[in-house]
């Protein structure tokens, strides 16, 4: 009898899945789990409202069609009365800290920082700094598409070069992560390609390395580049091809989607098993000594 009591007490004290970073809840409005569907809801969004609709969509919010009132597709929480300087992701996390969308996209550490009154950093830059730099072309390196390329291993310099090539070729900054990666792949495989922006120093270094390489070295180098490209492609979200796949589907364990796309999937794209939960993977960005 005493042993049964001990077992019961252990079960009662066991933390819920969300406390372990595991989400098993389903969206309250699953029709808006897709990013593009949430964006469509903002067609009637008034330009005078001092927050960007793209930031609202990224924060998991859907426009209700009334004033500036929005509602989360996942937790159902509502927000309104937006003021200049408000960051939708932060406001969402402040008022609804247990929202699964926030925890999947930003993580528990992000919510805890806000609860302590600290300003969370986004990609090494504070949100306020990103707002201040929004009008400059340098801010393009902070875009989701550019950061997705950086997260899979490319340097800031190489990604910036790809951005310059894209903007010079198409005359706009409306690029996707897939397009930047394709430009970088071309630069790596064909440094002499006729791009309008390529970095002469890099071309000279590559040309010098190629001139010093023997014929025996060419085939292994091409093989390594091909394997490197495949590895980088494997890390991309298979749904949007813009962000890194870092959401693990449960119980199958496959990781093929980013936080923005994962809630829309009821079955794993790889094994077709029903998705009963999600957990966000955390990658080590620095070497451990």
Lowest mean pLDDT among 6-20, 135-149, 272-286: 6-20
The separation between the first and the last C-alpha atoms of the chain, rounded to the nearest angstrom, is 50
Residues 165 and 110 in one domain: no
How many domains would you assign to the chain?
2
- Which residue range(s) make up the domain with 185? 153-234
Residues 117 and 171 in one domain: no
- Whether residue 214 lies inside any domain: the answer is yes
pLDDT tens-place string over residues 22-70: 888 899 999 999 998 999 999 999 989 999 999 999 999 999 999 999 9
Among candidate residues 248, 235, 259, the one with its CA nearest the CA of residue 149 = 235
- Whether residue 108 lies inside any domain: the answer is yes
Sign of the dihedral through C-alpha 95, 68, 175, 264: positive
Q: Are the C-beta atoms of residues 156 and 150 closer than 8 Å to each other?
A: yes
Residues 106 and 61 in one domain: yes
Q: In the listed set 191, 207, 234, which residue is the last one of a domain according to the structure?
A: 234
Q: Are the C-beta atoms of residues 62 and 73 closer than 8 Å to each other?
A: yes
Among candidate residues 73, 17, 31, 14, the one with its CA nearest the CA of residue 250 = 17
Residue with tokens 């620095």: 286
Residue with tokens 């309250």: 28
pLDDT band per the 50, 70, 90 thresholds, residue 82: very high
Contacts 24+ apart (CB under 8 A), 127-134: 127/87, 127/90, 131/85, 131/87
Q: Which two tokens stand for residue 171?
A: 């005359």
Residues 42 and 87 in one domain: yes
> What element of type H or E holds 37?
helix 35-40
102 CB neighbour count, 10 Å cutoff: 27
Q: Are the C-beta atoms of residues 49 and 73 closer than 8 Å to each other?
A: no
pLDDT of 157 reads 84
pTM over 0.85: no
pLDDT of 129 reads 44
pLDDT of 5 reads 52
Percent of the chain with pLDDT over 70: 71
Among candidate residues 285, 280, 238, 284, the one with its CA nearest the CA of residue 101 = 280
Higher pLDDT, 16 or 105: 105
Residues 102 and 172 in one domain: no
Residues 109 and 176 in one domain: no
Q: Are the C-beta atoms of residues 51 and 88 closer than 8 Å to each other?
A: yes
- The 8-class DSSP code of residue 15 comes to P
- Whether residue 173 lies inside any domain: the answer is yes
Residues 92 and 169 in one domain: no
> What element of type H or E holds 126?
strand 125-126
pLDDT band per the 50, 70, 90 thresholds, residue 145: confident
CATH number at residue 74: 1.10.1170.10
- Whether residue 273 lies inside any domain: the answer is no
- Whether residue 217 lies inside any domain: the answer is yes
- Whether residue 200 lies inside any domain: the answer is yes
Residues 106 and 187 in one domain: no
- Whether residue 281 lies inside any domain: the answer is no
């Amino acid at each position: 009898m005493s042993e049964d009591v001990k077992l019961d007490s252990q079960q009662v004290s066991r933390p819920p899945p969300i406390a372990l970073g595991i989400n098993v809840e389903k969206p309250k409005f699953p029709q808006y789990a897709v990013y593009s569907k949430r964006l469509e809801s903002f067609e009637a969004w008034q330009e005078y409202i001092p927050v960007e609709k793209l930031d609202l969509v990224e924060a998991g919010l859907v426009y209700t069609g009334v004033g500036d009132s929005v509602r989360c597709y996942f937790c159902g929480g509502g927000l309104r009365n937006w003021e200049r300087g408000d960051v939708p992701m932060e406001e969402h996390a402040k008022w609804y800290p247990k929202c699964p969308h926030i925890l999947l996209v930003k993580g528990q550490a992000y919510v805890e920082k806000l609860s302590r009154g600290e300003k969370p950093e986004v990609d090494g830059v504070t949100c306020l700094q990103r707002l201040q730099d929004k009008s400059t072309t340098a801010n393009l390196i902070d875009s989701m598409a550019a950061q997705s390329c950086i997260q899979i291993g490319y340097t800031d310099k190489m990604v910036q070069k790809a951005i310059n090539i894209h903007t010079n070729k198409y005359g706009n900054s409306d690029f996707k992560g897939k397009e930047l990666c394709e430009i970088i792949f071309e630069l790596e495989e064909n440094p002499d390609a006729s791009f309008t922006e390529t970095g002469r120093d890099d071309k000279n270094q590559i040309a010098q390395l190629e001139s010093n390489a023997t014929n025996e070295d060419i085939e292994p180098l091409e093989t390594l580049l091909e394997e490197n490209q495949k590895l980088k492609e494997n890390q991309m979200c298979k749904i949007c091809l813009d962000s890194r796949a870092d959401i693990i589907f449960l119980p199958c364990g496959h990781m093929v989607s980013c936080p923005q796309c994962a809630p829309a999937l009821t079955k794993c794209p790889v094994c077709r098993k029903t998705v009963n939960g999600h957990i966000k993977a955390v990658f080590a960005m620095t070497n451990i000594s």
